[in-house]
Structure 1
Amino acid sequence: MNNLRLITMTILMAMISCSDDEGDEPQDDGTSTLESYSFTYNETEYEVILEKMSWKEAAAYAKEQGGYLAEINSQEEQNTLYTELSKNAGITLTRTTASDGGGASYVWIGGNDINAEGEWKWDGNDDGSGAQFWAGLADGSVVGGLYNNWGDEPDDFNDNQDGLGLALTDWPLGTAGQWNDLRDSNRLYFLIEY
């Protein structure tokens, strides 16, 4: 009877151990080592990293993985990426918020004006180069006819917003899907393009 009890307890412990492990580990699709969701649009691979980093950390991680923070060049690309982020990526909105962005939820994308205030560039690998797509604040202008999707932004709130976030929820100066300038030290999820 003791042997039967020992075998039963061993089997039960093994079953509990197996069920506790399910879902605890990030799913590795071979692209990165962090929890993520991958998809393809227009023959380009994208990966949403569901781990929080500052803009610079996210850009460095993207570069290390062989990509860069996403660059959005058309309304169609914007719509597709927003749909993937909001409906398919499994993002917990409360885990990726920016207090200086009206408390809304965001993911980092590749624009910044870190090197020169108001000179917004696609620089998703943080090498200081890239095409400038916007000049100035909210009343600024498009550069070179490049696509942009700002809310009533950028506003450089408190003279300290240099990273570009794609909003997943509304905020006082914009709606979900639009862009907002944020403090680049915010720790947010991010979108890599390969």
Structure 2
Amino acid sequence: MSAQKIRNIHRDLGYFYLGLIISFALSGIMMNHREHWHPEKFTIEAKDIEVALPAENEITEDYAKQLAKDLHIEEKLKRQMVRKGKFRMQFDNTEVELDVKTGKGEIVQFVNTPLISQTMRLHKNTSNWWIYYSDIFGLSLIIIAVTGAMMIKYGKHTFKQRGWKLTAVGLLFPILFLLFLS
């Protein structure tokens, strides 16, 4: 394949996917830190509550729906769970978290953060058409990387002279992470 053809493929795929690359990169950074910061939603109100909870084995979906009514939450219950001593209920724009032993907790009402929540939804979307589009995007990123490595044919900055060393070092980080940190 000619150098010009390689450059053209690299350039055109780069232009075509520029918006998606930036979107995935930014939302990926935000998702990496979602345990410490919730960029997807903006809290409108948080208030402390205390509820007399039944025994843990009696906390069912029906109980959660009734509790939501008692707490004047009119949204549809998305999920409820008891885990690590906490009873959690999630709705579209409200979350309730209560300590199972004490019944103390809080209700948090929020709205989705414009643009950020939609961008982060790209990472979570599992519809068939998006999965196929994401697969094509992934393959295109591989092509962009390979054509980028092949673009410089002469001199001391070619893949053969220098690029393979940087690639090897770059591959070490995910390999070390998989071996030692996960």
Question: TM-score normalised by the shorter chain: which range applies?
Answer: under 0.3
Q: Which has the higher helix share?
A: 2
TM-score by length of 1: 0.26
Provide the TM-score with structure 2 as the length reference: 0.27
